Amino acid sequence: MRKIRLFYFFTLLLLTACQKPQPAVLDLEDSLPTDISTLTEKDIHARLGMLSREDYNFAQTLIGRQNLIQVILREKLILADALAQNIQQSADYKKSAQEKKQQLSDIYREYTRQLLVDLWYQKQRSTGALDISNEEIAAYYKKYPYEMTVQQIIVDNAQTADQVLRTLKHSPGRWKEMSRQYNTAPDVIRDNNFTFMPGEFLPEIEVIAANSTVGSVQGFIKTALGFHIIKKTGEKHLSKEEATPRIRAVLENERLDAILESLQTKYEVMIYDKNE
């Protein structure tokens, strides 16, 4: 199974891809104010909760409380007159209110989905499904006690990638020139160093880096971004203390991969990707 780095995103697909969200039926009438004829302590407490710390402290003083009451009173008078003029029936009101209510409905729906994902993840931890033993960490460290650093040039077609690779094999010192001329990678990738332990990056790039000497240029490999040419710029031995939290994360991701693979056999998820 292909390694899954974006756990939350993929799990969200598992939870939601089987059903298409239906547009919410929104009733604007239930949001109209109904308590405009009275000003109570409840109104004051509600407004206090919306104030900054500085304004809240001022509202605790006698003058501040009087000012706050006047602000709330003014708003209630304006609301009363707005309703009396049936402004709530205007096209502008209905359009803006409908758009905002739909937006808030979408936010709530996404929040509840993410909440399910977070609680699912917490449950895996609490049941020990993601527990990694010290022995597992030690075995991994014995095999991979190092990190590697690479740079990438990504081009959009195999012919150009082959041309660039041949040039760099013959003249590695032209890396910056070739990158400036041909690199189509996003800014976050272009000319940046990527440092990783085995298991933290794309498996195809890890294999190339692990089997290359520092300063060598290798490639090319194809991903959704294009054709990658790899230059290994460094390798460093890590202490056990440095490596342990990173190894734990790698092994946890492998456990998650296994769990998600089992879920793929349990739930049908259709993925429509225009890049495939």
Residue 254 lies in a domain: no
DSSP string, the chain: ------HHHHHHHHHHTTSPPPPP---GGGGS---TT---HHHHHHHHTTS-HHHHHHHTSHHHHHHHHHHHHHHHHHHHHHHHTTGGGSHHHHHHHHHHHHHHHHHHHHHHHHHHHHHHHHHHHHTTTT---HHHHHHHHHH--EEEEEEEEEESSHHHHHHHHHHHHH-GGGHHHHHHHH----TTTTT--EEE-TTSS-HHHHHHHHTS-TT-EEEEEEETTEEEEEEEEEEEE--HHHHHHHHHHHHHHHHHHHHHHHHHHHS------TT-
Residue 164 lies in a domain: yes
The predicted model scores a pTM of 0.65
pLDDT on residue 232: 94
183 and 109 within one domain = no
Average pLDDT over residues 238-256: 96
pLDDT on residue 121: 94
151 and 90 within one domain = no
Average pLDDT over residues 21-32: 48
195 and 104 within one domain = no
186 and 95 within one domain = no
pLDDT on residue 155: 93
Residue 191 lies in a domain: yes
Residue 134 lies in a domain: no
12 and 75 within one domain = yes
pLDDT at 9 over 80: no
Average pLDDT over residues 190-207: 91
90 and 17 within one domain = yes
In this structure, of 10-14, 37-41, 88-92, 176-180, the range with the lowest mean pLDDT score is: 10-14
Residue 120 lies in a domain: yes
> Domain containing 58: what range?
7-126
Residue 276 lies in a domain: no
175 and 96 within one domain = no
192 and 121 within one domain = no
159 and 60 within one domain = no
pLDDT in tens, 105-138: 999 999 999 999 999 999 999 999 999 999 999 9
82 and 23 within one domain = yes
pLDDT on residue 31: 53
Residue 119 lies in a domain: yes
Structurally, how many domains does the chain consist of?
2
Residue 207 lies in a domain: yes
111 and 33 within one domain = yes
pLDDT on residue 4: 38
In this structure, of 44-53, 252-261, 262-271, the range with the lowest mean pLDDT score is: 262-271
pLDDT on residue 189: 80
pLDDT on residue 20: 43
Q: Considering the chain, what is the average pLDDT of its residues?
A: 86
156 and 106 within one domain = no
